[in-house]
Amino acid sequence: MGRLDGKVALVTGGAAGIGAACVERLAEACARVAIVDLHDGPGRQLAARLGERARYFHADVAVEAEVAAAIAGAVDAFGRLDVLVNNAGIAGANKPTHELTEAEWDRVQAVNVKGVFFCTKHAIAPLRAAGGGSIINLSSIYGLVGAPDLPPYHASKGAVRLMSKTDALLYAADRIRVNSIHPGFIWTPMVEQHLASLGGDLAQHRREVGALHPLSHLGEPDDIAWGVVYLASDESKFVTGSELVIDGGYSCR
C-alpha cells in the first residue's frame, strides 16, 4: 500500500521541472494524477509513461474557463479530487521596478496569483465532495525574503504565501488543508532560462547561485516533490496554514 493510495491529485505546470517531479513522486506513492500544463508534448509523454495512473489536460491557469474544464475533466476521469498542487508559475521580466511595463507586471500576477485563485476556486467543490483534501501552493524563498531582482515575481510569491493562510482558515471546517512551499533555487528549465538571460558563463552563474545556499548548491526537483508528497498525504493531517521551507538554508540568515 502506498502513502497516497486511493487519492487523486492535480498538478498544474506538471509537464516540466518541479511539477513533473511532483507528478512522478505522487504517482509512485500510488496517487492517480492529472497533469495540467501548456506544454502538450512533454505533458502527454509523461502521462503515457505513467499509464492508467495519469492523464494530461491542456490549460492555461490564467484563463478561468480552461481551469474549470481541466478540473472537471480530471474529476470525470478519476471520479474524485483529493489534492491540488498549484505549481504552474513564471519568473517574468527581470528588470528593476522603474523599468517594468504594466503588461510585464500583469502577466506575472495573472499566472502566479490569479492562476492559484482560479485553480483553488474550482477545486473547492470536488475537494468538499471528497470529504476534505490538501491544497499545496508553490511560493518561493522570494515570497519570504527580498532579493534585488524579479520585482513582479517577489510580489506574486508573497501573495501566494498569504493566500494560503487565508484559505487554510476559510476551508479548515471542510477538512481542506492549505499550505505553501518555499523552495530555494532548484535546477529546472525556469532557473536555467533565468541564469542564461544574464549572459556570460552559465556554469559560473550556477556555482554563484548555489553558493547563496548554506548547503552550497542548488536543489533538485525531487527535493520539493518529497515535501509535496508529505503535504498530500495523511501524514500531514494536522498541518495547515504552514510554510514548508526547502531551501538549503538560504533564508536562515
The residues binding ligand NAP (CB under 6 A) are 12-13, 15-19, 37-39, 60-62, 87-90, 111, 115, 138, 140, 183, 185-186, 188-191
Q: Report the nearest approach of ligand NAP to the CB of residue 5 (Å).
A: 26
Look up residue 135 and give its three cell numbers. 491544497
Q: Which residues form the catalytic set?
A: 153
Rg (CA), the chain: 17
**In degrees rounded to 5, what are phi and psi of residue 134?**
-135, 125
Look up residue 44 and give its three cell numbers. 502527454
Q: Report the nearest approach of ligand NAP to the CB of residue 54 (Å).
A: 15
Q: Report the nearest approach of ligand NAP to the CB of residue 6 (Å).
A: 26
To the nearest 10 degrees (0 to 180), the angle between helices 115-129 and 64-78 is: 30
Q: Report the nearest approach of ligand NAP to the CB of residue 67 (Å).
A: 9
18 vs 135, beta carbon nearer ligand NAP: 18
The number of C-alpha atoms within 13 Å of 239 and in the hemisphere containing its C-beta is: 18
30 vs 190, beta carbon nearer ligand NAP: 190
Query: What SS3 class is residue 100?
Result: coil
Distance CA 118, CA 113 (A): 9
Q: Report the nearest approach of ligand NAP to the CB of residue 173 (Å).
A: 28
Distance CA 62, CA 138 (A): 15
**In degrees rounded to 5, what are phi and psi of residue 138?**
-80, 105
Torsion-angle region of residue 169: left (phi > 0), alpha (psi -120 to 50) or beta?
A: alpha
**Could you tell me how many residues make up the chain?**
253
40 vs 201, beta carbon nearer ligand NAP: 40
